[in-house]
Amino acid sequence: MVATSNQNLISTPVEAVDTAITQFQQLTTDDQLAALWFIYLQTGKAITPAAPGAARLQLAEGLLNQVKAMSHQEQLQFMRNLVEKVNTPETRAYGVLSANTKLAFWYRLAQWMEDGTVIPMPYGYRMSEKGTQTLAKIEWLEFNQQITILRRIVVDMGVDPLA
């Protein structure tokens, strides 16, 4: 069998999404949070319409209010705990939310990060080279693929107390 230069190309949209998610999950916790922030900045205005049922965000209002009441360092630790699946009351509360509510939850966090209500991205934060490459790959994908990636990433975060 002769190797071709096309062997390393991703051949389907599903493979592109799966590859991007795998690469995202291999990033450090802080790079995952930074990439998530940048993806939300890029796609943010379309997140809510893309998430039918996001109006059910009131189901997450209690948790959002808890996060809002935390110090900035506690907010950052909460987000890290979500990524790392640390079992806490807050990560379990997040774990029972629906996929669309989780998308809307992160959208709200991103809005609050932007206005300073929740700990903002550190000034001058630089992602690792691997993080920058992963983010660039995601940015090149079609919008629907980006939403699929976001959905799968945020659904996988937290701790499902029913599992």
Q: Are 120 and 113 in contact (CB under 8 A)?
A: yes
Q: Are 53 and 47 in contact (CB under 8 A)?
A: no
Which pLDDT belongs to residue 55?
Answer: 54
Give the pLDDT band of residue 46 (cuts 50, 70, 90).
low
Give the pLDDT band of residue 4 (cuts 50, 70, 90).
very low
User: What are the sequence ranges of the domains in the chain?
Assistant: 30-155
Least confident of 29-43, 51-65, 71-85: 51-65
Give the pLDDT band of residue 3 (cuts 50, 70, 90).
very low
CATH number at 30-155: 1.10.2090.10
Q: Is the pLDDT of residue 22 over 90?
A: yes
CA-closest candidate to residue 108, choices 50, 160, 158, 68: 68
Core vs surface per residue 52-76: b (16+ CB within 10 A) or e = eebeebeebeebbeebeeeeeeebb
Q: Are 101 and 155 in contact (CB under 8 A)?
A: no
